[in-house]
């Protein structure tokens, strides 16, 4: 699958101008729509976490033209997520929260093409993180099996 790099870059340039707004909305949406996720962040310093999440999104978008670096970083991130209690079924939840938040922050720049570009990019991110996580295959939902 070839990602729509230019569309991802140009839309994310707009998000970078509103980092705090974006991350605040992201976690508000996540915990409002999926309250069952909240315990995973029970001992987390949320302001720091928001900065880390944003940094990793910056890295993902900056590395779209350098897939090898991206692969390594995301596999490592996926491995670490096991220790945070994250399960494969949580990835679609975060994905839909990401799209919802991008949509509200991008306003009229959120077009069907932008939506498709981010949805495909998130699928790739999920695939690489789950690969790095090496969950036992029986807990992987079929579409995430390697």
By CB under 6 A, name the binding residues for ligand HEM. Answer: 37, 40-41, 43-44, 49, 52-53, 56, 77, 80-81, 84, 86, 90-91, 94, 125
Nearer to ligand HEM, 104 or 108 (CB): 104
Q: What angle do CA 44, 101, 52 make, to 5 degrees?
A: 35
Buried-state track 29-39, b at ≥16 Cβ within 10 A, e below 16 = bbeeeeeebee
Provide, rounded to whole angstroms, the least separation between the CB of residue 126 and ligand HEM: 7
Name the residue number minimizing CB distance to ligand HEM.
44
Tokens of 22: 């974006």
18 token code pair:
């509103």
Least gap, CB of 143 to ligand HEM (angstroms): 15
């Amino acid at each position: 699958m070839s990602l729509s790099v230019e569309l991802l870059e140009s839309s994310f340039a707009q998000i970078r101008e509103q980092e705090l707004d974006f991350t605040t909305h992201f976690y508000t949406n996540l915990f409002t729509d999926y309250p069952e996720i909240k315990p995973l962040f029970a001992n987390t310093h949320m302001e720091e976490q928001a900065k880390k999440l944003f940094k990793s999104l910056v890295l993902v978008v900056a590395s779209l033209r350098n897939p090898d670096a991206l692969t390594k970083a995301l596999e490592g991130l996926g491995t670490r997520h096991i220790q945070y209690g994250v399960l494969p079924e949580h990835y679609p939840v975060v994905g839909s929260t990401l799209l919802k938040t991008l949509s509200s922050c991008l306003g009229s720049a959120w077009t069907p093409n932008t939506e498709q570009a981010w949805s495909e990019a998130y699928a790739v991110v999920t695939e690489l993180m789950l690969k790095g996580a090496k969950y036992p295959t029986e807990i992987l939902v079929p579409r995430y099996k390697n």
